[in-house]
Amino acid sequence: MPDSFKNMTLVQNLARAAQAIKNADALLITAGAGMGVDSGLPDFRGKEGFWKAYPAIAGLGLSFADMANPSWFKQSPELAWAFYGHRLNLYRTTTPHPGFNTLLEMGQQRRLGYFVFTSNVDGQFQKAGFDRARIVECHGSIHHFQCCVPCKNEIWEAGGEQVNLDEATFRAKPPLPGCRSCGELARPNILMFSDTGWVDGRTDSQEHSLTTWLNQLQESEAKLAVIELGAGTSIPTVRLVSETIVGKYDGTLIRINVREEKVPPAQIGLGLGAADGIARIWKDMQVAR
């Protein structure tokens, strides 16, 4: 496809996306890992990206899927907490890119508001000022802990708890986070691979709030726009949720993905990064006023 045709299609799709959001009564924001790349967060796509972020793990030959497994909290608690402790420290010090603020303004301008559905565990939407009661974290949050056993279905905020690392060995230094109830080792309240011990009560409550909101939109025959950002096909949870909701609630999907922007018929795909796509849609929205 000639570049001139691609550019023309992109311009047209940006205009369609801007108009769809302007016409919408409500905005659902769905986001995957690509949303955080413009904030400087690591891209774990493939082993090379993961190993670049964690060179100490490259020497072990482990992939992200290998490392993101609860079995490490039994096999090597210091390594497990080095991996998650480093991420916790990183997310705490990361500033959300300007696209978050723009999305928040887009959502606040809609008559019936917004909701967020994200597979990210980094807490960046909360940090950017989004209403905590309007966020679903389908894989949990690194800013919340639970018991490794688990001894009970309790989830608590990490708060100011610190995880200190020995950078030379890439191992967490004791004391490691402990369960507030039984004193056994704690872990992040994150859904990992092959995870049978994840306490899902917090996420279940969030999902119930989203369903209630969507049903209210349906009852009022509201127009819904869904803007999806940085959600890939390797773990397609976010993409499937976006498409399911658009189909069920007769919404418009705007998929922003630099590599995988393909969409179902009549929907809008933009082959852009998250921050760039948001900024360009916002610009078109201002021009169209």
Give yes or no for a contact between 135 and 121, defined as CB atoms under 8 angstroms apart: no
Residue bearing tokens 């907490």: 81
Q: pTM of the prediction? A: 0.96
**pLDDT computed for residue 42 by the predictor:** 84
**pLDDT computed for residue 50 by the predictor:** 85
> What's the angle, vertex CA 279, arms to CA 112 and CA 218, rounded to 5?
20
| Phi-psi domain of 187 (left: phi exceeds 0; alpha: psi -120 through 50; beta: other) | beta
- Bridge partner residues of 116 (DSSP): 29, 135
d(CA 76, CA 250): 48
**pLDDT computed for residue 201 by the predictor:** 98
**pLDDT computed for residue 3 by the predictor:** 60
Give yes or no for a contact between 182 and 151, defined as CB atoms under 8 angstroms apart: yes
Q: What is the pLDDT of residues 204-262, one digit of tens each?
A: 999 999 999 999 999 999 999 999 999 999 999 999 999 999 999 999 999 999 999 99
**pLDDT computed for residue 4 by the predictor:** 57
Would the pLDDT of 288 be above 70? no
186-218 in b/e form (b: 16+ CB < 10 A) is bbbbbbbeebeebbbebbeebbeebeebbeebe
State mean pLDDT over 89-99.
Answer: 97
Q: What is the pLDDT of residues 138-179, one digit of tens each?
A: 999 999 999 999 999 999 999 989 999 998 899 999 999 999
State mean pLDDT over 192-198.
Answer: 97
**pLDDT computed for residue 183 by the predictor:** 97
- Kindly state the tokens that stand for 66: 């290998």
**pLDDT computed for residue 8 by the predictor:** 80
Q: What is the dihedral of CA 91, 97, 103, 104, to 10 degrees?
A: 60
Q: What percent of the chain has pLDDT over 70?
A: 97
Measured distance between the N- and C-terminal CA atoms of the chain, rounded to whole angstroms:
32
**Domains of the chain: which residue ranges?**
1-41+96-139+200-289, 42-93+141-190
Rg (CA), the chain: 20
d(CA 273, CA 38): 8
Give yes or no for a contact between 251 and 224, defined as CB atoms under 8 angstroms apart: yes
Give yes or no for a contact between 226 and 242, defined as CB atoms under 8 angstroms apart: yes
- Bridge partner residues of 270 (DSSP): 256
State mean pLDDT over 124-139.
Answer: 98
Predicted confidence band of residue 273 (pLDDT cuts 50, 70, 90): very high
Question: Three-class SS of residue 26?
Answer: strand
Domain 42-93+141-190 adopts which CATH fold?
A: SIR2/SIRT2 'Small Domain' (3.30.1600)
CA nearest neighbour of 254 among 125, 103, 137: 103
What are the backbone dihedrals phi and psi of residue 186, each rounded to the nearest 5 degrees, phi first?
-95, 165
Would the pLDDT of 111 be above 70? yes
Q: What is the pLDDT of residues 27-78, one digit of tens each?
A: 999 999 999 999 999 877 767 778 888 988 988 889 999 999 999 999 999 9
| Top CATH class, 1-41+96-139+200-289 | alpha beta
Cβ contacts of 46 within 8 Å, gap of 6 or more: none
State mean pLDDT over 253-278.
Answer: 97
Indicate the length of the chain as a whole number.
289
CA nearest neighbour of 116 among 37, 267, 129, 145: 129
**pLDDT computed for residue 5 by the predictor:** 55
| Paired sense of beta strands 26-31 and 224-229, if any | parallel
Q: Is the dihedral of CA 36, 40, 43, 44 positive or negative?
A: negative
d(CA 253, CA 243): 7
Q: How far apart, in Å, are the Cα atoms of 143 and each of 31, 51, 55, 124, 212?
A: 18, 23, 24, 11, 25
**pLDDT computed for residue 132 by the predictor:** 98
